[in-house]
Chain A
Amino acid sequence: MHSQTNTEQQLLAALAAGGRAATEQIYQQHFHIINSWLVKNGGSSADAADIFQEAMVVLFGKAQDEDFRLTCSVGTYLFAISKHLWYKKLQQQYKSPVFLQDNTVEEENDRGIAYEDDINVHNEREAHYEQLNNALDQIGEPCRSLLKAYYHHDKNMQEIAADFGYTNPENAKNQKYKCLTRLRKLFYGVQAK
């Protein structure tokens, strides 16, 4: 069974599909490394969870592209992205001077550049999704729940028809299209501003 996820490429494909086993495997293998690094660099375990999960989402986003190939191992990639995210977070936090205590060894200077693009793409996508969710919040019921059920909770039209009291899936589908039409107006209306 596990031979499916033997190579990292297969692992990534499974991750991209949202496979739990693959995600868990990556989590188990790499989280503790990032956790201990982060704790040594002024973060808490809670920060480590946040940062690592964000890095996983970046990887997940990258892996959606079928042509995507990592030029390094998954572990290296996650570590580089995590570091990067953490330094960014620190930069935002510390506008004030940095205290002189602490004898932690200065990090090698690989902070910038590497994977900067990946993170920028990720941030843009996050912003895009956020706008979309804002529009979704303004759309009103039952559209909001219906679209959420379909897109966020991955329910099929049959289930939705039953949950929302439509006589058949076809009716539910038509309702979904109406809702999408409203969402489009809200979303592109907002964007045009």
Chain B
Amino acid sequence: MSINNNTWELAEAYIAGSLTQEEVNKLNTRLAGDVEFANEFNEATNLVSAMAGSGKQKRFRSMLHDIHEKRSSATHPAKTKRIALPAHFWRTATVAASVAILTSTITMWSINYSLKKNESKYNTISREVGAIKKVQAQQQAQQNKLIEIINTKNKPAVPTSDVKYTGTGFALTNDGYFVTAYHVISDGDSVYIQNHDGDYYKAFLVNFDADADVAILKVEKKNFHFGKGEVPYTFAGNKAPLGAGIFTLGYPKDEVVYSEGYISAKNGYQGNQLQYTLELPAGHGQSGSPVIDSKGNILGLLTAVGSQNEANTYAVSAKALLELLHTIPNANSFHLPRANRLTGMNRQQQIEKMEAYTFSVKVYKK
């Protein structure tokens, strides 16, 4: 059944509100009496108003788009391009800049000096040399001082940019190798650890396994040690049984936080065999925290929590970590702790012992 043109016209006029009261009354009577017409008219008005509405919205959308385009093209070129220097170049750059300033000052000074004293050239030359020597010595001293200042400042050489991500890491060996979750560091351009004394140390990536979500890093500083003795815990090569009690230390905030739970499933997210499923409260910032059993064996590291509806926590098993360890270039010179010094201790003692080897991982990005 086709709608004739009159019906369309009527529908358009009705929507536009251009019908007279008399016409509206007539229409209403007809609608009440003629079911087929009422149906047609209904569909016609719906269609026309939907077409009009969708057209209007389309125009509005393209106007929004246009406003946005004009806006961003107006703001972007106005900004001058600034290239940020990566944090680890600052030291070099500062020294370089200070040398440059000193050198140019000396040149300026010596030129001025020779211009002033040019009536007695013979003298000036030797004095100039002497003066330069003196200044050079001064410069050297100043430079040394500068470097010294930079060095002492360098210990907490924290980039001024904001921390992008934080996670937790724990030591593999006492000489600076440590592990954290790969996703913590994957997006950053420099990684620092902050130990429980609050000191910062820069670290570099040694190896990682993105699928397993494990990363091995090393502290840059030479002769670095996490704690006084060897790492006090050992790594479990086999999977722990269901129900095994576990605890973890992590840095969801600036201070270390302890939580405990148990292994609730042998495999992890979607049956992932490299993982455990844990019943353990964990929050943001605890990725990479060690999962330790009551005897002080590392069973794994925290990686993720279930999204909203499920309250599970997932941990990568130590097995995945050990497998990754075998692939690093100098795997042979790498000595994992053999003796477990946590066994037999009570929990408070274990935590106290662990503290030096567990730290916050801070990831920076320009």
**Residue ranges of A at the interface with B (Cβ–Cβ < 8 Å):** 18, 20, 23-24, 27-28, 31, 49, 53, 56-57, 60-61, 64, 94-104, 125, 128-129, 132-133, 147, 150-154, 174, 177, 180-181, 183-184, 187-188
**In-complex Cβ contact of A100 among B9, B44, B51, B283 (8 A):** B283
Residue-wise, chain B 164-208 has the 8 Å CB interface mask toward A (1 for contact) of 011100000000000001011000000000000000000000000
A to B CB contacts below 8 Å, 18 in the list: A18-B63, A23-B64, A28-B71, A53-B68, A56-B60, A97-B307, A100-B181, A101-B285, A101-B287, A103-B165, A103-B252, A132-B47, A151-B54, A152-B59, A153-B59, A154-B55, A180-B44, A181-B8
Asked whether any CB of chain A lies closer than 8 Å to the CB of B328, the reply is: no
Q: Which residue of B lies closest to A152 (CB)?
A: B55
Our count of residue pairs bridging A and B at CB distance below 8 angstroms stands at 132
CB-CB under 8 A from B56, the residues of chain A are 18
Contact: A101 with B63, CB < 8 Å? no
The residue that B68 contacts in the complex, of A49, A96, A97, A132, with Cβ under 8 A, is A49
How close is B132's CB to chain A, nearest CB, in angstroms?
Answer: 54
Cα separation A23 to B59 with both chains bound (whole Å): 12
Contact: A24 with B307, CB < 8 Å? Answer: no
Say whether B305 faces chain A, with CB atoms less than 8 Å apart: yes
Determine if A103 and B166 form an interchain contact, defined as CB atoms under 8 angstroms apart: yes
Q: Does B145 contact A (CB under 8 A)?
A: no
Measured in the bound complex, the distance between the Cα atoms of B269 and A53 in whole Å is: 36
B57 at the A interface (CB under 8 A)? yes
Contact B50 A132 (CB under 8 A): yes
Q: A137 CA to B52 CA in the complex, in Å?
A: 16
Measured CB to CB, the nearest residue on chain A to B5 is: A177
The one of A27, A99, A152 that contacts B71, using a Cβ cutoff of 8 Å: A27
- Residues 42-75 of B at the A interface (beta carbon under 8 Å): 43-44, 47-48, 50-61, 63-65, 67-68, 71
Q: Report B-chain residues with C-beta under 8 Å of the C-beta of A31.
A: 68, 71
Q: At the interface, yes or no: B264 with Cβ under 8 Å from chain A?
A: no
Distance A128 CA – B68 CA, assembled complex (angstroms):
26
Q: When chains A and B are docked, how far (Å) is the Cα of A99 from the Cα of B304?
A: 4
Which B residue sits closest to A188, measured CB to CB?
Answer: B43
Binding site for A on B (CB under 8 A): 2-3, 5, 8-9, 43-44, 47-48, 50-61, 63-65, 67-68, 71, 163, 165-167, 181, 183-184, 252-253, 269, 282-287, 302-307, 312, 314
When the two chains form the complex, which single residue of B48, B59, B184, B306 contacts A180, counting CB atoms closer than 8 Å?
Answer: B48
| 14 extra interface residue pairs, beta carbon distance < 8 Å, beyond A18-B63, A101-B287, A153-B59 | A56-B64, A61-B57, A96-B307, A97-B307, A98-B304, A100-B302, A101-B167, A102-B284, A102-B285, A103-B163, A128-B50, A129-B50, A177-B5, A180-B3
Chain A interface, DSSP helix/strand/loop, else mixed: helix
Q: Is the CB of A101 within 8 A of B54?
A: no
Chain B residue at minimum C-beta to C-beta distance from A97: B304
A94 touching B307, Cβ below 8 Å = yes
Inter-subunit contact B5/A174 (CB<8 Å): yes
The residue of chain B having its C-beta at the shortest distance from the C-beta of A106 within the complex is: B284
B46 to chain A, nearest CB (A): 9
CB-CB nearest in chain A for B167: A101
Within the assembled complex, what's the spacing in Å between the Cα atoms of A96 and B275? Answer: 15
Instruction: Give min CB distance, A74 to chain B, whole Å.
Output: 15
Question: Are A99 and B183 interface neighbours, CB within 8 A?
Answer: yes
CA distance A97 to B312 in the complex (A): 9
The chain B residue sitting closest to A27, CB to CB, is B67
- Contacts A96-B307, A101-B166, A174-B5 known; A151 to B51 CB distance under 8 Å? yes
- In the complex the two chains form, what is the Cα distance from A28 to B67 in whole Å? 9
The answer to whether A98 and B44 touch (CB under 8 A), given A57-B64, A61-B57, A151-B54, is no
A98-B307 contact in complex given A18-B56, A174-B5, C-beta closer than 8 Å: yes
Q: Do the beta carbons of A180 and B8 come within 8 Å of each other?
A: yes
**A159 vs chain B, min Cβ distance (A):** 15
How far is B55's CA from A187's CA once the two chains are assembled, in angstroms?
16
Question: B286 contacts A100, CB within 8 Å?
Answer: yes
* Residues on the B chain within 8 Å of A154, using CB: 55, 59
Q: Pick the contact of A60: B8, B48, B60 (CB < 8 A).
A: B60
Distance of A121 Cα from B304 Cα, bound (Å): 35
Query: Does the CB pair B165–A102 fall under 8 Å?
Result: yes
Q: How far is the CB of B187 from chain A (nearest CB, A)?
A: 9
**A60: B residues at CB distance < 8 A:** 57, 60
**Which among B44, B54, B282, B312 is the interface contact of A132 at CB below 8 angstroms?**
B54
Whether B52 lies near A151 (C-beta < 8 A) is yes
Question: Are A23's CB and B55's CB within 8 A?
Answer: no
Q: Residue on A with the closest CB to B39?
A: A188
Is there contact, CB below 8 Å, between A103 and B53? Answer: no
Interface pairs A-B: 10 shortest CB-CB:
A151-B55, A97-B304, A100-B287, A129-B54, A177-B8, A151-B51, A152-B55, A177-B5, A101-B165, A53-B64
Complex CA–CA separation, A20 to B252 (angstroms):
47
CB-nearest residue of chain A to B163 = A103
- Least CB distance from B54 to A in Å reads 4
